């Protein structure tokens, strides 16, 4: 099939070309999918999208008019696709429902320990031959209570790593994962989890029900010396409320791999530009905030599976086979 790959970077090309082996004709564009760039897909029966490509109803209408029949999303999360509109315009949407959950879970632990032990600050200091320890004091993770919000594939791996650290586990999810129960996780309401946890890590998808689940009221429930880690989707956290909490010194540290306004910012080098997002700029000023640019998935293993599954999805669609990665609107 002719496939237009949106928001393509050199690493996307490397992994997709390796998985494709010339099977489909892949055309790469650095453009992100939106109302303007939908026209680039004219004549492409398939497009391949990433997390910040906006497959809104208006975009989907334009894609359908241009002959597109498949959106192959190269990620797990798919909150950027209007599935009702896709169904209405006869476009099939597929995703990568499974790839290394270790990539994201291990990164979440990395964010936590970097913040806790101030490794990022130590790195900068020692490069200037400053080997003083003042300001680098951390705490043992062993014995902490860890609240895992969303105990699916990634949350369960995160829970198991934290179990290995010697933590007790609280979970919040609409379903109870037997792997987490086997680790001794206790499922509790979100409010109780937030009140009792020393570390809170978010692993639920972004849905209307989970949008801004971390807000002024829920942040107020958290222990003032708790760490909050978000490697899921930026929209789970009300950033303005988070900034208020940080300003008041009511949280120990925040690790964010995602940000609700990351579109157009993350995955780009803006080092020569004036940053116009005052909220992001303010967030960056806190010494106890660590922001990374949506890189938790970015391991060799995850990229290989993402590319292979994306190519398999395109092939299955072309050959009329249904598979587990087809996305359907929730009824």
Q: Which residues bind ligand NAD (CB under 6 A)?
A: 76-77, 101, 104, 150-155, 173-175, 203-207, 209-210, 231-233, 257-258, 294, 296-297
Residue with Cβ nearer ligand NAD (44 or 172):
172
Residue with Cβ nearer ligand NAD (34 or 257):
257
Residue with CB nearest ligand NAD?
152
3-state secondary structure the chain: CEEEECCCCHHHHHHHHHHHCCCCEEEECCCCCCCCHHHHHCCCCEEEECCCCCECHHHHHHHHHCCCCEEEECCCCCCCECHHHHHHCCCEEECCCCCCHHHHHHHHHHHHHHHHHCHHHHHHHHHCCCCCCCCCCCCCCCCCEEEEECCCHHHHHHHHHHHHCCCEEEEECCCCCHHHHHCCCEECCHHHHHHHCCEEEECCCCCCCCCCCECHHHHHHCCCCCEEEECCCHHHECHHHHHHHHHCCCCCEEEECCCCCCCCCCCCCCCCCCCCCHHHHHHHCCCCEEECCCCCCCCHHHHHHHHHHHHHHHHHHHCCCCCCCEECCCC
- Shortest Cβ distance from residue 299 to ligand NAD (Å)? 10
Residue with Cβ nearer ligand NAD (50 or 317):
50
- Shortest Cβ distance from residue 11 to ligand NAD (Å)? 13
Of 233, 244, 318, 328, catalytic: 233
The helix-helix angle for 300-318 and 101-117 (nearest 10°) equals 150
- Shortest Cβ distance from residue 79 to ligand NAD (Å)? 7
- Shortest Cβ distance from residue 232 to ligand NAD (Å)? 4
Nearest residue to 102 via CA among 144, 50, 53, 164: 164
Tell me the C-alpha distance between 300 and 308, whole Å: 12
Instruction: Based on the residue annotation, tell me whether 262 is a catalytic residue of this protein.
Output: yes
Nearest residue to 103 via CA among 324, 307, 306, 313: 306
Residue with Cβ nearer ligand NAD (82 or 173):
173
Residue with Cβ nearer ligand NAD (22 or 178):
178
Query: Parallel, antiparallel, or unpaired: how do β-strands 326-327 and 92-94 relate?
Result: antiparallel
Instruction: Based on the residue annotation, tell me whether 233 is a catalytic residue of this protein.
Output: yes
Residue with Cβ nearer ligand NAD (97 or 288):
97
- Shortest Cβ distance from residue 231 to ligand NAD (Å)? 4
Of 95, 118, 260, 262, catalytic: 262
- Shortest Cβ distance from residue 212 to ligand NAD (Å)? 12
Tell me which residues are annotated as active site.
233, 262
């Amino acid at each position: 099939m002719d496939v237009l790959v949106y928001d393509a970077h050199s690493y996307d090309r490397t992994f997709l070309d390796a998985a494709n082996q010339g099977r489909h004709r892949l055309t790469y564009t650095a453009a992100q999918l939106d109302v303007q760039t939908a026209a680039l897909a004219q004549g492409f029966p398939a497009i391949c999208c990433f997390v910040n490509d906006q497959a809104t109803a208006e975009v989907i209408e334009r894609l359908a008019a241009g002959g597109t029949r498949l959106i192959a999303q190269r990620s797990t999360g798919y909150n950027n696709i209007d599935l009702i509109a896709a169904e209405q315009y006869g476009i099939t949407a597929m995703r990568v429902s499974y790839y290394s959950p270790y990539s994201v879970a291990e990164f979440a632990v990395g964010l936590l320990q970097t913040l806790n032990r101030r490794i990022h600050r130590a790195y900068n200091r020692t490069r200037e031959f400053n080997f003083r320890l003042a300001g680098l004091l951390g705490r043992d993770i062993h014995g902490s209570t860890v609240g895992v919000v969303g105990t699916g594939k990634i949350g369960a791996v995160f829970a198991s790593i934290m179990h290995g650290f010697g933590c007790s586990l609280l979970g919040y999810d609409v379903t109870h994962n037997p792997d987490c129960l086997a680790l001794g996780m206790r499922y509790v309401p979100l409010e109780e989890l937030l009140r009792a946890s020393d570390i809170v890590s978010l692993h639920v998808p972004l849905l209307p029900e989970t949008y801004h689940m971390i807000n002024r009221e829920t942040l107020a429930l958290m222990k003032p010396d708790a760490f909050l880690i978000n490697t899921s989707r930026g929209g789970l956290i009300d950033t303005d409320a988070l900034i208020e909490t940080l300003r008041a010194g009511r949280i120990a540290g925040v690790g964010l791999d995602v940000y609700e306004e990351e579109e157009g910012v993350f995955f780009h080098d803006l080092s020569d530009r004036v940053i116009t997002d005052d909220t992001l700029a303010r967030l960056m000023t806190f010494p106890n905030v660590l922001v990374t640019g949506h890189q938790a998935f970015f391991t060799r293993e995850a990229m290989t599976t993402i590319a292979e599954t994306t190519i398999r999805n395109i092939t299955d669609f072309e050959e009329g086979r249904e598979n587990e990665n087809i996305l359907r609107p929730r009824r």
